[in-house]
């Protein structure tokens, strides 16, 4: 039975996932790098070969305009698969063809009609009537637009003078070009808008795709990490925060036929996750013992959010807070294990034995993961707050 969407598990920690990473998105990002290489290495031999086969744009950004005849000829080829990622990325909400922005420079190396340099599509698509009347369809920008002291001068070459709707297109086109801001760069330059430095990287595209995927799944909170506990503990807390653990009320909602939805440990109330981990009499007794162990009797744990993100003014250092959070997470995990034992008819342990196991396991797990020192068992068992106090004295944390 699936409790969490796989798409959410794949997301990075910052988007509320488990940072498994999507091979599909990674592959799309790697294929997209060929778009960047094609655009930024226009004078290389392989780029000239691609242009001779697929046109001056190499077919990039033109997938929806390819005729069925062209598709039959080129489908199955490696470069066609690179072109085709535009279609896949558009479904994910990423318009890759507009993510590459061209600074045309002085216009020498940019096709006036076929390259996308003004607006969100090539001028041959935006002004089809004018393009049909163009005598030199491969003309560069510098061949059609000149600059003088009085402003922009157009150097048109028409097979037939534009009339009627073509004349209206010409008026619109000249107005757009006059409002376009040309740069002082001598050579054209491509930039990638999803990276502050303008250079393409697969990481920046992955980040953008993950942000789109997270937005589609709805509101999220970043995944909280704690390097002092095993990964299984962190995953357990991650599931608990989303109420994705198989307590009886949640199983009942999913249509599972149950004899009862009352708590299998105390039988005093229906079993919700909040009741199981916090409000159950057995859980309450365990938490009381844990708080006495840490000398935090005044601390109240009343909700699931208290288990996921614990902060207490009495703990002085970041390290002390991480230690306490580790103990809270491990305690929650062992309460859940004990609940499962009771639900499946296994031997019932006293709360004192459960707390003893929490103390020993937390010592073992934290000690093996703390790279800057070692816990002392006697101090850990009698006064774990000592480690917070010693870090305060030496200025650590």
State how far the alpha carbon of 240 is from the alpha carbons of 7, 8, 342, in Å.
18, 15, 19
CA 358 to chain centre: 35
pLDDT tens, residue by residue, 251-309: 999 998 888 999 999 989 999 999 999 999 999 999 999 999 998 877 777 777 776 66
Which ranges of the chain would DSSP assign to H, the alpha helix? 6-10, 23-40, 45-54, 68-74, 78-91, 123-126, 128-133, 141-144, 165-179, 202-217, 231-241, 248-253, 273-274, 281-293, 304-308, 318-343, 351-369, 377-382, 385-394
State how far the alpha carbon of 135 is from the alpha carbons of 138, 141, 157, 159, 163, in Å.
9, 14, 6, 5, 16
Residue 123 CA to residue 327 CA, distance in Å, equals 64
pLDDT tens, residue by residue, 4-52: 999 999 999 999 999 999 999 999 999 999 999 999 998 899 999 988 8
Residue 80 CA to residue 84 CA, distance in Å, equals 6
Q: Tokens standing for 227?
A: 């390097």
For the chain, state the CA radius of gyration.
Answer: 32
Whether 352 has a pLDDT exceeding 90, the answer reads yes
Do 377 and 363 contact (CB within 8 A), yes or no? yes
- Long-range CB pairs of 230-235, under 8 A, 24+ apart, other chains included: 230/365, 232/333, 233/329, 233/330, 233/333, 233/365, 234/329, 235/18
Overall average pLDDT of the 359-369 stretch? 93
Helices (H) and strands (E) in the chain, counts: 19, 4
pLDDT tens, residue by residue, 171-195: 999 999 888 877 766 666 888 999 9
Cα 122–Cα 125–Cα 130 angle in degrees, nearest 5: 105
Q: For residue 71, which phi and psi values (nearest 5 degrees)?
A: -60, -40
Specify the pLDDT at position 68: 41
pTM of the complete model: 0.77
Q: Name the β-bridge partners of 148.
A: 151
Do 252 and 49 contact (CB within 8 A), yes or no? no
Q: Which residue would you say has higher pLDDT here, 153 or 33?
A: 33
Cα 158–Cα 164–Cα 170 angle in degrees, nearest 5: 50
pLDDT tens, residue by residue, 270-285: 999 999 999 999 999 9
Residue 58 CA to residue 49 CA, distance in Å, equals 9
Do 118 and 111 contact (CB within 8 A), yes or no? no
């Amino acid at each position: 039975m699936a409790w969490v969407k796989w798409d959410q598990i794949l997301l990075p920690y910052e988007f509320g996932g488990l940072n498994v990473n999507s091979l599909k998105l990674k592959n799309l990002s790697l294929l997209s790098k060929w778009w960047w290489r094609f655009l930024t290495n226009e004078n290389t031999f392989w780029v000239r070969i691609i242009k001779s086969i697929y046109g001056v744009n190499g077919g990039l950004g033109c997938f929806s305009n390819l005729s069925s005849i062209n598709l039959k000829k080129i489908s199955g080829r490696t470069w066609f698969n690179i072109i085709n990622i535009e279609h896949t990325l558009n479904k994910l909400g990423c318009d890759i063809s507009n993510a590459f922005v061209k600074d045309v420079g002085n216009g020498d190396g940019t096709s006036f009609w076929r390259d996308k340099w003004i607006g969100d599509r090539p001028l041959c698509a935006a002004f089809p009537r004018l393009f049909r009347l163009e005598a030199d369809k491969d003309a560069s920008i510098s061949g059609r637009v000149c600059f003088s002291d009085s402003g922009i001068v157009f150097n048109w070459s028409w097979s037939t003078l534009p009339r009627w709707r073509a004349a209206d297109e010409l008026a619109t086109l000249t107005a757009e070009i006059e409002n376009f801001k040309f740069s002082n760069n001598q050579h054209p330059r491509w930039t990638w808008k999803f990276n502050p430095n303008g250079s393409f990287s697969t990481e920046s595209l992955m980040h953008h795709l993950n942000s789109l995927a997270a937005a589609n799944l709805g509101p999220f909170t970043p995944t909280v990490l704690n390097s002092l506990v095993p990964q299984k503990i962190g995953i357990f807390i991650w599931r608990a925060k989303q109420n994705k653990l198989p307590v009886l009320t949640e199983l009942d909602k999913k249509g599972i036929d149950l004899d009862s939805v009352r708590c299998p440990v105390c039988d005093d109330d229906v079993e919700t996750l909040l009741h199981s981990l916090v409000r159950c009499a057995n859980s309450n007794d365990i938490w009381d013992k844990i708080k006495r162990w840490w000398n935090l009797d005044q601390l109240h744990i009343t909700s699931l959010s208290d288990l996921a993100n614990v902060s207490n003014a009495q703990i002085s250092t970041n390290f002390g807070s991480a230690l306490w959070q580790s103990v809270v997470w491990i305690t929650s995990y062992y309460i859940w294990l004990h609940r499962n034992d009771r639900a499946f008819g296994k031997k019932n342990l006293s709360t004192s034995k459960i707390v003893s196991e929490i103390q020993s396991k937390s010592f073992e797990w934290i000690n093996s993961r703390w790279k800057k020192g070692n816990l002392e068992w006697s101090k850990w068992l009698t006064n774990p707050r000592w480690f917070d106090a010693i870090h305060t004295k030496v200025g650590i944390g």
